[in-house]
């Protein structure tokens, strides 16, 4: 199985609390059961829960390496490739890595890895988050998850920020954000 060319890009996107990390962990675990080697990566800036782990809001967890920026993902993969061929690379919270991530994904896919990218498609203003606009054309399989609108119960595609902060990226959890449908979503300033 080690020399099999798996080269493909999968995207899992949606608002907060739509089950993105849960879906990612499910794909990683089923790949592992089939004997594939996997590497999960998350941005260093995400300090919400445990370091070196992907953790869902419901407490599921899986081991992860950290990368400061998109270029460092290549470094992390390279370090492990010396001793082990990494077949599946999962990147969580992709919106932290910006546009640069699309080039990194293209490189990893061309090297034969199955790359799974997870993140928020829209920011707190309702604008599309890089790297998704540049990733979508490269994707072989895109899964758009929806949440349940916290106000009306309809399908939520947006993440409503409940705390006052003008920064585009703020790390938070339950209580700081809500899933909202397009009607109930009020873009932050
Ligand atoms: Zn609503």
Digit-coded pLDDT (tens) for 111-156 = 999 999 999 999 989 999 999 999 999 999 999 999 999 999 999 9
Grade residue 179 by pLDDT with cuts at 50, 70 and 90.
Answer: very high
- Tell whether the model's pLDDT for residue 23 goes beyond 90: yes
183, with CB counted inside 10 A (0-12, 13-18, 19+), is exposed
* 155 alpha carbon – ligand 1 mean position (Å): 7
Could you tell me the sign of the dihedral formed by the alpha carbons of 15, 54, 38, 33, in that order? negative
Q: Is 93 a catalytic residue?
A: yes
State the pLDDT at residue 157: 96
For helices 100-110 and 70-81, give the axis angle rounded to 10 degrees.
Answer: 30
Question: Of 93, 99, 121, 130, which is the active-site residue?
Answer: 93
Share of residues in the chain with pLDDT > 70 (%): 88
State the pLDDT at residue 109: 95
15, 147 contact by CB (below 8 A): yes
* Domains in the chain, CATH or no CATH each: 8-145 (3.40.50.300)
* 170 alpha carbon – ligand 1 mean position (Å): 23
- Tell whether the model's pLDDT for residue 46 goes beyond 70: no
- Tell whether the model's pLDDT for residue 100 goes beyond 70: yes
State in Å, rounded, how far the first CA of the chain is from the last one: 50
* 60 alpha carbon – ligand 1 mean position (Å): 27
* 16 alpha carbon – ligand 1 mean position (Å): 15
* 17 alpha carbon – ligand 1 mean position (Å): 14
* 175 alpha carbon – ligand 1 mean position (Å): 17
Grade residue 58 by pLDDT with cuts at 50, 70 and 90.
Answer: confident
Could you tell me the sign of the dihedral formed by the alpha carbons of 66, 172, 93, 165, in that order? negative
- Tell whether the model's pLDDT for residue 2 goes beyond 70: no
Q: What is the CA radius of gyration of the chain?
A: 16
Kindly report which listed range (42-56, 96-110, 158-172) carries the lowest average pLDDT score. 42-56
Q: Mean of the pLDDT values across residues 179-184?
A: 96
How far, in Å, CA of 131 to CA of 139, rounded? Answer: 12
In sequence order, the 6+-apart residues with CB closer than 8 A to the CB of 101 are 70, 73, 91, 94, 117, 130, 131, 135
Kindly report which listed range (44-48, 77-81, 159-163) carries the lowest average pLDDT score. 44-48
* 53 alpha carbon – ligand 1 mean position (Å): 32
Grade residue 85 by pLDDT with cuts at 50, 70 and 90.
Answer: confident
How far, in Å, CA of 71 to CA of 64, rounded? Answer: 17
Mean pLDDT of the chain: 88
């Amino acid at each position: 199985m080690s020399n099999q060319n798996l080269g493909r890009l999968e995207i899992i996107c949606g608002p907060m609390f739509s089950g993105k990390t849960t879906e990612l962990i499910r794909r990683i675990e089923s790949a592992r059961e089939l004997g594939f080697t996997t590497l999960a990566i998350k941005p260093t800036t995400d300090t919400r829960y445990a370091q070196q782990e992907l953790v869902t809001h419901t407490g599921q967890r899986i081991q992860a390496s950290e990368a400061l920026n998109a270029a460092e993902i290549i470094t992390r993969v390279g370090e492990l490739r010396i001793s082990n061929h990494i077949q599946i690379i999962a990147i969580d919270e992709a919106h932290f890595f910006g546009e640069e991530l699309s080039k990194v994904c293209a490189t990893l896919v061309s090297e034969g890895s199955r790359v799974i990218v997870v993140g928020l498609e829209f920011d707190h203003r309702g604008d599309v988050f890089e790297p998704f606009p540049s990733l979508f054309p490269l994707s072989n399989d895109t899964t758009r998850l929806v949440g349940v609108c916290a106000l009306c119960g309809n399908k939520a595609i947006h993440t409503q920020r409940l705390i006052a902060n003008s920064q585009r990226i703020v790390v938070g959890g339950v209580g700081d954000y809500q899933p909202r449908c397009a009607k109930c979503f009020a873009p932050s300033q």
